[in-house]
């Protein structure tokens, strides 16, 4: 008899953003005249930059000629792209990451979801709350948690990120083996200094733990003193893996390309306490289950690192950061507390006494604006909503006007 993985029963019925999409679709169906503005899921709206499109076209043209056509590519990605990534994203920042420590993939969501396969099922995991739901859900699927009770999964060490600790996770009181960190943070937009990250690297070294560091939003950092990669911290190569994405950096949400850095020094342990190379394990997994990102997409990603590419993507991120600034000012003028939006496309808004789903419904029904309810990111997110800056300036401006109108006379 074919039997189901019953860990799936522990999950909520649907994935957060699928849930939201269904709700929005229903409202649109019932009110076809409404022009709904989507500031929910962090999905870019600006077209791929011209230099990137040229790289894409070049790749497609090569595929159209027998002489330059490519079949299966190397599963960790083409050398031309991995070298550019290593030089530009890491070596230029003083981080000694080499091309062969980079594995190109179809995005950080898949990498963050798949990487947990390499670990034993009985490890102790520390996860910030609130956080991007993929980290937790994929560990639930793998059977690393108990049941969901009173808003939390048993067996997980939750690290509360609250106003009181500036939305920064604190070192756990008990020993943990795997730690998820995300900076600039999704959903709060908080950032971590080098000192802050060093604390985690030291902890991981002392406890033979591993950090999974999600840096998908690093390109939004505008303060040069803030680290853009965990490998700016001494010793991080021994204890940290980093997820990166071209989605928010260069508009690849629909094009799909990201990468994961697994340094060769990074070791995990077997039941006999012997060291195992994480790099070899991931290489084995990746080459067995993944056949590489398409050649034109890797050419497009390579073009991100050209001089024009760099200038063009910076202009796009500045555009979204300007939207974030407009959102922050509007929210402030309405008397709400918020964080984020400075080195991040997300603004995390304290709804005062409102429950986040109630706030979500209010904005959707009264302002025709979609946000993301904070509860979807964890129990600590219950009083919050997240507004994303990914949309056109016109739509963001209009959305803020509509929110102001909807909230006038509807103060909680």
Q: Are 243 and 111 in contact (CB under 8 A)?
A: yes
Nearest CB to ligand MLT, comparing residues 145 and 185 = 185
Q: Find the helix or strand (DSSP H, E) in which 276 lies.
A: strand 275-277
Whether cis (ω within 30° of 0) applies to the bond prior to 283 is no
String marking each residue 78-117 x if it binds ligand MLT according to CB under 6 A? -------------------------------x--------
Beta-bridged to residue 158, according to DSSP, are 127
The count of chain residues that interact with ligand MLT, using the rule CB under 6 A, is: 5
Grouping H, G, I as helix, E, B as strand and the rest as coil, residue 221 is: coil
Q: Are 75 and 68 in contact (CB under 8 A)?
A: no
Nearest CB to ligand MLT, comparing residues 236 and 293 = 293
Query: Smallest gap, in angstroms, from Cβ of residue 109 to ligand MLT?
Result: 4
Query: Smallest gap, in angstroms, from Cβ of residue 147 to ligand MLT?
Result: 25
Query: Smallest gap, in angstroms, from Cβ of residue 200 to ligand MLT?
Result: 22
Q: Find the helix or strand (DSSP H, E) in which 72 lies.
A: none
Query: Smallest gap, in angstroms, from Cβ of residue 133 to ligand MLT?
Result: 8
- Burial category of 254 from C-beta neighbours within 10 Å (exposed 0-12, middle 13-18, buried 19 and up): exposed
Q: Contact between 42 and ligand MLT (CB under 6 A)? A: yes
Query: Smallest gap, in angstroms, from Cβ of residue 154 to ligand MLT?
Result: 25
Q: Are 109 and 87 in contact (CB under 8 A)?
A: no
Nearest to 90 by CA among 105, 79, 101: 101
Query: Smallest gap, in angstroms, from Cβ of residue 186 to ligand MLT?
Result: 5
Nearest CB to ligand MLT, comparing residues 216 and 407 = 216
Distance CA 120, CA 107 (A): 24
Residues 6+ apart with CB under 8 A from 314: none
Q: Give the alpha-carbon dihedral of 115, 119, 121, 123, to 10 degrees.
A: -110
| Per-position DSSP letters for 260-277, written without gaps between them | EE--TT-EEE-TTS-EEE
Residue ranges in 154-193 that form contacts with ligand MLT under rule CB under 6 A: 186
Nearest CB to ligand MLT, comparing residues 135 and 305 = 135
Q: Contact between 63 and ligand MLT (CB under 6 A)? A: no
Task: Work out which of 132, 135, 217, 246 binds ligand MLT, going by CB under 6 A.
Answer: 132
Nearest CB to ligand MLT, comparing residues 119 and 390 = 390
Nearest CB to ligand MLT, comparing residues 41 and 118 = 41
Query: Smallest gap, in angstroms, from Cβ of residue 131 to ligand MLT?
Result: 10
Taking every pair of Cα atoms in the chain, the longest distance, rounded to a whole number of angstroms, is: 68
Nearest CB to ligand MLT, comparing residues 305 and 346 = 346
Nearest CB to ligand MLT, comparing residues 42 and 55 = 42
Query: Smallest gap, in angstroms, from Cβ of residue 331 to ligand MLT?
Result: 18
Beta-bridged to residue 58, according to DSSP, are none
Where do we find the tokens 């003083």?
94
Q: Contact between 255 and ligand MLT (CB under 6 A)? A: no
For the chain, how are helix, strand and coil distributed in percent, rounded to 5? 45, 15, 40
Task: Work out which of 41, 118, 142, 398 binds ligand MLT, going by CB under 6 A.
Answer: 41
Nearest CB to ligand MLT, comparing residues 42 and 374 = 42
For 37, phi then psi, to 5°, come to -105, 125
Beta-bridged to residue 276, according to DSSP, are 268
Query: Smallest gap, in angstroms, from Cβ of residue 396 to ligand MLT?
Result: 16
Q: Which residues make up the interface to ligand MLT (CB under 6 A)?
A: 41-42, 109, 132, 186
């Amino acid at each position: 008899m074919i039997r189901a993985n019953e860990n799936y029963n522990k999950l909520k019925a649907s994935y957060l953003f699928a849930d939201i999409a269904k709700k929005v679709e229903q409202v649109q169906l019932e009110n076809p005249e409404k022009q709904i503005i989507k500031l929910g899921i962090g999905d870019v709206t600006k077209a791929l930059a011209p230099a990137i499109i040229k790289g894409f076209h070049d790749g497609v043209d090569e595929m159209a000629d027998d002489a330059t056509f490519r079949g299966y590519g190397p599963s960790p990605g083409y050398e031309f792209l991995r070298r550019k990534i290593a030089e530009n994203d890491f070596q230029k920042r003083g981080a000694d990451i080499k091309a062969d420590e980079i594995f190109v993939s179809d995005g950080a969501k898949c990498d963050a979801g798949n990487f947990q396969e390499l670990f034993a099922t009985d490890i102790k995991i520390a996860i910030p709350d609130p956080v991007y739901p993929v980290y937790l859900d994929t560990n639930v699927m793998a059977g690393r948690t108990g049941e969901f009770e009173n808003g939390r999964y048993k067996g997980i060490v939750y690290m509360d990120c609250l106003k009181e600790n500036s939305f920064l996770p604190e070192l756990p009181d008990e020993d943990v083996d795997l730690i998820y960190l995300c900076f600039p943070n999704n959903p709060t937009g908080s950032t971590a200094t080098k000192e802050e990250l060093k604390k985690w690297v030291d902890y991981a070294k002392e406890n033979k733990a591993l950090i999974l560091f999600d840096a998908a939003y690093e390109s939004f950092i505008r303060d040069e003193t803030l680290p853009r990669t965990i490998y700016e911290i001494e010793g991080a190569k021994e204890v940290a893996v980093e997820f990166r994405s071209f989605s928010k950096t260069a508009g690849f949400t629909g094009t799909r390309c990201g990468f994961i850095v697994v340094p060769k020094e990074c070791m995990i342990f077997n039941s006999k306490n012997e060291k195992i190379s994480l790099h070899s394990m991931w290489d084995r997994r990746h080459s067995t289950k993944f056949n590489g990102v398409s050649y034109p997409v890797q050419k497009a990603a390579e073009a991100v690192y050209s001089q024009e590419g760099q200038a063009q993507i910076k202009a796009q991120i500045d555009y979204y950061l300007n939207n974030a600034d407009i959102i922050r000012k509007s929210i402030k003028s309405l008397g709400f507390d918020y964080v984020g939006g400075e080195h991040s496309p997300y603004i995390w808004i304290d709804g005062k006494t409102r429950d986040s789903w109630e706030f979500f419904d209010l904005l959707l029904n009264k302002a025709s604006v979609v946000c993301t309810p904070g509860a979807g990111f964890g129990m600590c997110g219950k009083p919050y909503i997240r507004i994303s800056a990914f949309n056109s300036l016109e739509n963001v401006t209009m959305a803020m006007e509509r929110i102001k109108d909807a909230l006038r006379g509807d103060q909680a």
